Amino acid sequence: MSYQSVNPYNGKLLKTFEYLSDKQVEAALDGAALCFEKWRQTSFAARAAVIAKAASIMRARVDDFARPMTLEMGKRINEARGEVEFSSNILAYYAKNAERFLAPVKLHPTVGEAHMESSPLGVIFCVEPWNFPYYQLARVAGPHLMAGNVLMVKHAGCVPQCAIAFEKLWIEAGAPIGLYTNLLITHEQSEHLVDDRRIKGVALTGSAAAGRSIAARAGQNLKLSSMELGGSDAFIVLEDADLEHAIKWAVWGKMYNTGQTCCAAKRFIVVEELADKFLAKFQAALAALKPGDPMDEKTTLGPLSTESALVDLVRQVEGAISKGAKVVMGGKRIDRPGSFMEPTILTNIKPENPAFREEFFGPVALFFRVKNEEEAIALANDSDFGLGGSVFTRDIARGKRVASRIDTGMMFINNISWSDAELPFGGIKNSGYGRELGDMGIQEFVNKKLVRVASMEAPA
Whether residue 5 contacts residue 15, with contact meaning beta carbons closer than 8 Å, is answered with: yes
SS (H, E, C) 371-403: CCHHHHHHHHHCCCEECCEEEECCCHHHHHHHH
Task: Measure the CA–CA gap between 178 and 418, rounded to whole angstroms.
Answer: 32
Q: Which residues contact 204 (CB under 8 A, 6 or more apart)?
A: 126, 127, 128, 210, 211, 214, 215, 225, 226, 227, 228, 229
Alpha-carbon distances of 260 from 230, 232, 281, rounded to whole Å: 10, 12, 22
Active-site hit among 262, 263, 436, 444: 262
Active-site hit among 83, 228, 342, 436: 228
Task: Measure the CA–CA gap between 425 and 411, rounded to whole angstroms.
Answer: 11
Residue 297 annotated as catalytic? no
Task: Measure the CA–CA gap between 32 and 37, rounded to whole angstroms.
Answer: 9
Task: Measure the CA–CA gap between 336 and 29, rounded to whole angstroms.
Answer: 45
Residue 262 annotated as catalytic? yes
Q: Which amino acid is at 74?
A: G
Helix (H) or strand (E) holding 7: strand 3-7
Active-site residue list: 228, 262
